[in-house]
Copies of this chain bind each other. A is one copy, B any other.
Amino acid sequence: MKPVNIGLLGLGTVGGGTAAVLRDNAEEISRRLGREIRISAVCDLSEEKARQTCPSAAFVKDPFELVAREDVDVVVELFGGTGIAKDAVLKAIENGKHIVTANKKLLAEYGNEIFPLAEKQNVIVQFEAAVAGGIPIIKALREGLAANRIKSIAGIINGTSNFILSEMREKGSAFADVLKEAQALGYAEADPTFDIEGNDAGHKITIMSALAFGTPMNFSACYLEGISKLDSRDIKYAEELGYRIKLLGITRKTGKGIELRVHPTLIPESRLLANVNGVMNAVRVNADMVGETLYYGAGAGALPTASAVVADIIDIARLVEADTAHRVPHLAFQPAQVQAQTILPMDEITSSYYLRVQAKDEPGTLGQIAALLAQENVSIEALIQKGVIDQTTAEIVILTHSTVEKHIKSAIAAIEALDCVEKPITMIRMESLHD
């Protein structure tokens, strides 16, 4: 069979990794695929880097020229972002090129434009590398679990945040100190906002939610709360109570709509997700027939991400000349079956909660707080007086049972209105990961 011709947009970390994987594992890949994968053209700001990395490929300065070339069957977009990347991908699709991309932001924010165009043009858009790096989670959701109604997904899908939280727990360090360490190690960028404030995880859980439930992308409705305001005391108290705090992307189908949210979350320490440390990623899927499954691996890095990019190229290479009727649909469901669904506002989601309250250390305080929670029908799993901050102030930690978020918010407002309580109360969501 003739080779599959790749046009590569971008030779950054993942682009360089992709070239390395295609070069170093060429033989093993063609043992599997039965044909060769050839980088025929490459576009990068640095011509020198392009010529060094892909010596037998044509160097193309203009991405729009690359996506129009006759010797390109598959465009691999590794620019990132939603500027040129978006325009080049749309143009490539118009030109009938298949697409492989690692660009979570592009798909979560513009997927509703990209996928319908791809269907119209009969091209394949693959994006395994966009979620959880080298873990084949998109394939699992779209094919491996295709017999199931998916109920919920919870994932550690941002390695930077997970590294910071792991270090804060192990060393008892403050957020700002660990962030500096992570930056020195190259695990966090100079401007880490995107990772630590939940945007990156939000893009990824948005994509997984669409695949799981057969909906359009809904990033604008995704609740984002990062880890920058986490106090290491809360990590310590959580641990004393048998929990770890992780930044989770969560999506769950309920009778009223879909929950779609990213926030720090207490999870019981016995759960596998609680034991995923450092920069590693893991995604837990709960589905009606198979029950709980979990997928673990490297969520970033040149070679792990390139492993997913190249798997996507191989998938396309198998189908590139086949008929189009029997492909795996882009968003797991047939295009006509993709249905918009309500994304629940945060007030309507269901969760358990960890509260930390600083209050005057005097008789009756605990009782007053408990009464205000009861008034909102919030039932208490544990209410513990932790250390005394100073002579007159005590710190109280409360774990609640499951409730609708608006009730806990009302209760918090009522408790904050007490004279004996300091504002603000710390509130962190908690998931048992049993559904």
Contact = CB atoms under 8 A, between A and B. Distances in A.
A288 B25 contact: yes
Contacts of A328: 318
Contact of A322 (B17, B25, B272, B322): B322
Considering residues A214, A291, A314, A317, which has the most beta carbons from chain B within 10 angstroms of its beta carbon? A291
A253 to B, nearest CB: 11
A325 interface: yes
A143 B147 contact: no
A169 to B, nearest CB: 14
B21 A311 contact: no
A329 B288 CA distance: 30
Contact of A147 (B21, B139, B291, B327): B21
Interface stretch (A72-80, A302-310, A408-416, A418-426): A302-310
A311 B146 contact: yes
A220 interface: no
Contacts of A17: 289
A287 B307 contact: yes
A295 B135 CA distance: 9
Interface string A282-304: 00000111111111111001011
Contacts of A303: 289-291
Nearest to A338: B31
A304 B291 contact: yes
B296 A293 contact: yes
Most chain B CB inside 10 Å of its own CB: which residue of A140, A214, A288? A140
Interface string A133-144: 111100110011
A319 to B, nearest CB: 6
A163 B402 CA distance: 30
Interface residues on A, range: 35 or more
Nearest to A144: B136
Given A139-B143, A140-B139, A272-B275, A307 B319 contact: no
B297 A291 contact: yes
Nearest to A271: B275
In this complex, the member of A133, A135, A332 whose beta carbon has the largest number of chain B beta carbons within 10 angstroms is: A135
Contacts of A323: 321-323
Contacts of A290: 133-135, 297-298, 303-304, 307-308
A100 B47 CA distance: 50
A143 to B, nearest CB: 6
Nearest to A332: B32
A210 B162 CA distance: 35
A218 B415 CA distance: 67
Nearest to A134: B290
Contacts of A275: 270, 272, 275
A361 interface: no
Given A144-B136, A147-B314, A298-B290, A31 B337 contact: yes
11 contacts: A25-B288, A32-B337, A135-B293, A145-B311, A147-B311, A270-B275, A272-B272, A289-B306, A290-B303, A296-B296, A323-B323
